């Protein structure tokens, strides 16, 4: 079944057709299940090391990322957790993280083109760009961070620079996270 001519985009088709969306998301769950038992430990290491010099994950976001009941998080959260795994885990015994990277990169690309510009999608893209820099994939890193900047603009993160956070009321924490992520995007893009 193809998208109808009245449809604005393929995204409308995917979100109105749960089978198509689940087929798209299925590839991200396979690598997640293979490292699921390590995610908690790796995530803790990430927060103690990597997140201290580029803090893109806030302390209030942490409880929402790791499911306590053993369930599998949504596709965007799985993408972020796998990106955390990618930048934190060292290849051991000559092993490679390349297959995880290529699958994650492919899925992230699909995800950001068809879904809303969510915080976990942007964060995963930032971590992918950092991994690409570390692997001397400078052109890919430039493209990845550029896509994240565009997603951040669509999400309105750049507008938080001119917002008085003290007057924001209940949205203060969310706006602070957006402002913080925007500055991280600017730094990575430079």
In a domain, 161, yes or no: yes
The answer to whether 79 and 120 have CB atoms below 8 angstroms apart is yes
**Phi, psi torsion values for 24, nearest 5 degrees:** -65, -40
Q: Which residues of the chain have pLDDT under 70?
A: 1-34, 70, 93-95, 115-116, 161-170, 172
Question: Would you say 82 and 31 are in contact if contact means Cβ atoms under 8 Å apart?
Answer: yes
Q: Tell me if 41 is assigned to some domain.
A: yes
Residue 163 is predicted with a pLDDT of 65
In a domain, 1, yes or no: no
Residue 56 domain flag: yes
What is the per-residue pLDDT for 124? Answer: 93
**pLDDT for the residue numbered 168:** 58
Q: How many domains does the chain have?
A: 1
Predicted confidence at residue 17, as pLDDT, reads 45
Domain assignment present for residue 5? The answer is no
139 lies in which domain range?
10-189
| 20 within a domain of the structure (yes/no) | yes
Residue 135's contacts (CB-CB under 8 Å, 6 or more residues apart) are: 101
Q: What is the pLDDT of residue 16?
A: 46
In contact, 108 and 121? CB cutoff 8 Å:
yes
Residue 146 in any domain: the answer is yes
Q: How far apart are CA 159 and CA 149, in angstroms?
A: 13
Q: What pLDDT is recorded for position 31?
A: 63
Q: Is residue 58 included in any domain, yes or no?
A: yes
């Amino acid at each position: 079944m193809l998208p109808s001519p009245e449809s604005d985009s393929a995204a409308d088709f995917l979100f109105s057709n749960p089978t198509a969306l689940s087929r798209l998301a299925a590839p991200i769950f396979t690598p997640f299940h293979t490292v699921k038992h390590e995610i908690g430990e790796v995530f803790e290491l990430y927060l103690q090391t990597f997140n201290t010099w580029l803090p893109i994950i806030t302390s209030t976001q942490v409880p929402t990322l790791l499911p306590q009941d053993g369930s599998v998080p949504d596709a965007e959260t799985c993408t972020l957790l796998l990106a955390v795994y990618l930048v934190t885990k060292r290849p051991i015994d000559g092993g490679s993280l390349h297959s995880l990277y290529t699958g994650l990169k492919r899925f992230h690309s699909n995800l950001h083109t068809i879904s809303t510009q969510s915080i976990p999608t942007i964060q995963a893209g930032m971590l992918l760009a950092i991994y690409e820099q570390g692997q001397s994939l400078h052109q890919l890193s430039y493209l990845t961070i550029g896509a994240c900047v565009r997603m951040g603009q669509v999400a309105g993160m750049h507008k938080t620079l001119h917002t008085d956070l003290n007057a924001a009321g209940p949205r203060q924490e969310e706006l602070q996270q957006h402002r913080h992520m925007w500055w991280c995007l600017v730094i990575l893009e430079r």
